Amino acid sequence: MDLHYSAITLAIFLLVYHQVTTWLPLFPWNDVETYSRKELILEAGMNGLLMGTGVLCLLSGNSGFIHWYPLIYYPILLAGECVDRWIPYFSPTFANARKIWDYEAHFSRTLKLIPHQPGKRTPDANHTVLHLMTIATVVAVYLER
C-alpha cells in the first residue's frame, strides 16, 4: 500500500478509535462512567479537532501548513501521551509530582496489559493500544512526508 494512503488510514483509525473509546462505555476496556459529561465533551472535542485537522491535512496535500501540521502535531501528541502515562509508570517521583487528577478513580478498574500495582499509575490497555496507534501514525506520516 502506498505510504500516503497508509498515513491517512492510520490517522483515521487513530481518530475513530479515540472518539469511540471516549464516548462509548466499554468497561473494562475503558471507564468513561467516571467522567462528567463536560469532561467527555472537552476530551472528545479537543482531540477530535486536533486529530481531525491532522487527517484533513493528510487528505488535502503537501504544502505550507498542510505539510507541517501532521509532522508537528502527531509527535507532540505522542510526547503528551508519554508524559501523561509512561513516564509516571517508570518514574514514581515524576508520578508524585504530576498529581493533576485522581488516576486511581478513573483507571484503577480498567484492563491492563502490564502488571498493575496499586498506587502506581499503570497505563491501561485502551491507552496502550492508543499509544501504539499513535507511534504507527507518527512513523507513517514521517515516511510519507
Domain ranges (residues) in the chain: 3-144
Spatial distance between the Cα atoms of 10 and 135, rounded to a whole number of angstroms: 10
Q: Is the peptide bond before 75 cis (omega within 30 degrees of 0)?
A: no
* Per-residue pLDDT tens listing for the chain (145 residues): 699 999 999 999 999 999 999 999 999 999 999 999 999 999 999 999 999 999 999 999 888 999 999 999 999 999 999 998 899 888 878 877 766 667 778 888 899 999 887 777 889 999 999 999 999 999 999 999 8
